[in-house]
Amino acid sequence: MRSNVVVFSESTLPKCPPLKRTSQIWCFNTMENGNFTTWPTEVWERSFDWMMSYRRDAHVARPYGKILKLDKSNDRNYSDVYRQKTKFGVWMSSHCPTPSRREEYITQLQKYIQVDTFGKCGQNTCGVQNPSMNDCSKNFARDYKLSTTGAKARYGSKIDIKKAS
């Protein structure tokens, strides 16, 4: 490996580390909460120089979302957009059950409003596990008035997001 920085992801980490050049920086990448991360084995202990994560205190912070400045020429009629949506709420989950018990929150919410559930806790399926790799997210944004997420763990720097765009 002749790169200056080598990024290792938890899902593809080899059992044993390859040879490391002294000039290289090795970075461990995970987008999961620490409670759900498969940490490297002792063989890898002290191999990594940096941590890449959604957390703000990581050496390389990779947030889940971003804030964009709206184009002032956007004359969208949001009342029409809202009326065109045919379903009320959607929830996507990659882990179940969770320490935060977010699935119980959704069960309670479903007593009052329609919330379709997808993923490991859900009654519906949509493509592969990672929504960025399919059209599920686009369909959710197009069809649903509200989407909700929740952190798997009880503490962390993830923020629940509700949207009706």
Query: Quick one: tokens of 149?
Result: 């997420």
Residues 41-100 have pLDDT tens digits of 788 878 999 999 988 899 999 887 777 787 777 677 889 989 999 999 998 887 788 777
Q: Which residue, 38, 34, 17, is CA-closest to 26?
A: 17
- The beta strand positions in 94-148, using DSSP E, are 115-119, 144-148
Alpha-carbon distances, residue 164 vs 40, 63, 141, 157 (angstroms):
39, 21, 8, 23
Q: What's the whole-model pTM score?
A: 0.56
Answer yes or no: is pLDDT of 153 > 60. no
What are the sequence ranges of the domains in the chain? Answer: 5-61, 78-148
Residue whose structure tokens are 């949001």:
78
Using pLDDT thresholds of 50, 70 and 90, give the confidence band for residue 14.
confident
**Burial level of 152, CB count in 10 A (0-12/13-18/19+)?**
buried
Residues 104-126 have pLDDT tens digits of 888 999 999 999 998 888 888 77
